Amino acid sequence: MQCIVFFGIQGSGKGTQAELLSHSLNFQHINTGDLFRDQVSRGTELGLRVREIIGRGELVPDELVFQIVDSVLEPERKGIVFDGFPRTLAQAEFLVRHYEVLRVFFLQLEEADAINRISARRVCGDCGTNYNLKSNRPQRPDLCDKCGGALIIRKDDRPEAISKRFAEFYSQTLALKDFFGEQGLLTEINAGNSIDAIAGEIANTIGNLNS
């Protein structure tokens, strides 16, 4: 199965770009963070195992990550856009063993800009729809456009968890730059640009792969 990977610090906009690209290529979009949060909110066995880990902003053990990715795979799809996976070298090695990696996009953003963006993030406590008070505002400041539920700050977007998530990014995930760079698969993108400009750069890169 072919795949494209997005990685970057929390707040770099990888989710937005992964979503756009998966639509335009008609690939499955797999966001491991959303998958784990869904398990937690449904109180499944896996959700109960990872709830505390996620709340602290730590990484979930690799085996559980492989398990959750495996459980949502749609084998009839043309390909997958991975968003938030891989995040460790062991996960990256697993990925290249099991998938044909077409391209890996690293969305580069300064930490101060990332904190700015994350502090504006809100999620509906009832239906899980995501908002950003700067770039994707709800019509009413504290309520969900879709279901009217109250908008809250995700537990793992609070300052203590965010600093842990950044630390995990620097100590574990940043090494993927060298790993994929050595394989000639890496494209680095300035994530400080607008959503449209970044999407255009990504589309050009993908277009060049096919030509």
Q: Which of 157, 181, 194 is nearest to 5 (CA)?
A: 181
Q: State the nearest-atom distance from the C-beta of 147 to ligand AMP, in Å.
A: 21
Contact 58, 162 (CB under 8 A): no
Question: How far is Cα 183 from Cα 181, in angstroms, rounded to an integer?
Answer: 5
Looking at the DSSP bridge assignments, the partners of residue 145 are: none
Give whichever of 108 and 203 is closer to ligand AMP, judged by the CB atom. Answer: 108
| CA geometry: angle 201, 35, 70, nearest 5 deg | 90
Which residue lies nearest ligand AMP, judged by its C-beta? Answer: 33
Cα-to-chain-centroid distance, residue 20: 13
Give whichever of 67 and 204 is closer to ligand AMP, judged by the CB atom. Answer: 67
Question: How far is Cα 82 from Cα 101, in angstroms, rounded to an integer?
Answer: 10
In the set 37, 87, 103, 122, the catalytic residue is 87
Q: To which H or E segment does residue 22 belong? A: helix 14-25
Stretch that binds ligand AMP, among 1-9, 18-26, 52-60, 137-145 (CB under 6 A): 52-60
Binding mask 66-105 for ligand AMP (x = CB under 6 A): ------------------xxxx---x--------------
Active site residue 154: yes
Question: How far is Cα 52 from Cα 67, in angstroms, rounded to an integer?
Answer: 18
Contact 47, 152 (CB under 8 A): no
Give whichever of 59 and 124 is closer to ligand AMP, judged by the CB atom. Answer: 59
Task: Choose which of 36, 105, 131, 166 interacts with ligand AMP (CB under 6 A).
Answer: 36
Task: Choose which of 59, 95, 144, 162 interacts with ligand AMP (CB under 6 A).
Answer: 59
60 binds ligand AMP (CB under 6 A): yes
Active site residue 103: no
| CA geometry: angle 44, 47, 51, nearest 5 deg | 145
Stretch that binds ligand AMP, among 29-37, 99-107, 144-152, 181-189 (CB under 6 A): 29-37
Q: State the nearest-atom distance from the C-beta of 165 to ligand AMP, in Å.
A: 5
Measure Cα distances from 76 to 79, 97, 98, 115 in Å.
9, 20, 16, 38
Residues labelled as active-site residues: 14, 87, 121, 154, 165
| Residues that bind ligand AMP in the complex, under the rule CB under 6 A | 10, 32-33, 36, 53-54, 57-60, 65, 84-87, 91, 156, 165
